[in-house]
Amino acid sequence: MAGWFSLASVHTMTIKPGGSVGPILVTGATGQLGRPTTAALRNAGHEVRAMSRQPGPGRTAADLATGAGVGEALAGVETVVHLATTHGRADLGLAERLCAASRSAGVEHLLLISIVDVDRIPLRFYRDRRRIEEIVEGSGVPYTVLRATQFHSLLVGMFRAQRRLPLLVAPSIRVQPIAIPEVATRLTELAGQPPQGRVGDIGGPEQRPLGEFARTWQESVGRRRPIVPLRLPGRLFAAYDAGAGLVPGPAYGEQTFADYLGEQART
């Protein structure tokens, strides 16, 4: 249930002067969420190891797909922020290897990003994300799981993929996109705290039909095409009709979709 949380995993961590914990390893540190999260953690005064398969300045080279370098990357680490993803079924293996290595390394806090209502939306990708949560929950490593709604960039990607069509198809669902830097801010807050199990879900400031976001995007890029709603029978749309993918109550995020599009146009 959105907003539900547990304190079952809270335990004492080493808090250093200035409020920072010990070394933090960020997996997927070069990804769209990893980059701002790594920057936010460093700006908050944390010692951060930015893990990536590709070596480079300020990075710790390791590969969760093969396990190469993971043990070395975890040496002395107190907190792991797991953001690495392949957007496929291989993510299950990444989570299993990371959890096993974190347990062996004595990691004190494993922080996982997930998606709102992965246990309610009947798609394989969401079932896999829930399975990853279960892997973390059963790992024996104290953990925190944060679920967020989908990012603004996902909607833009969906709309851009149809840019050569004479119309724009928008499934008849309500969505609540959130800005990536705001998710990074929340992850930074949680990384500096003891493990808390499942914490409250976060979402953006707008809950609107996807078609309305499509119209906003078209206006921002100067396009005029019919927006065609898509409705299919079955459990998927029934779940969205029941509010799946939305976070009830006050929104955590503040940046609207129009604000995001304006920011992207200026960069």
Query: pLDDT of 249-258, one tens digit each?
Result: 999 999 999 9
Dihedral (C-alpha) 161, 95, 199, 42: value to the nearest 10 degrees? -80
Asked whether the predicted pLDDT for residue 127 surpasses 70, the reply is yes
Higher pLDDT, 233 or 184: 184
pLDDT at position 54: 86
Q: What share of the chain is helix, strand, coil (3-state, %, to 5)?
A: 35, 20, 45
* Architecture (CATH level 2) of domain 17-148+180-198: 3-Layer(aba) Sandwich (3.40)
With cut-offs at 50, 70 and 90, classify the pLDDT of residue 56: confident
Q: What is the mean pLDDT of residues 21-29?
A: 92
CA distance 34 to 50: 8
Largest CA distance in the chain: 59
The domains of the chain are located at 17-148+180-198
What average pLDDT does the structure give for the chain? Answer: 91
Asked whether the predicted pLDDT for residue 107 surpasses 50, the reply is yes
Report which secondary-structure segment, H or E, holds 82. strand 79-82
**Do the Cβ atoms of 147 and 114 come closer than 8 Å?**
yes
Asked whether the predicted pLDDT for residue 25 surpasses 80, the reply is yes
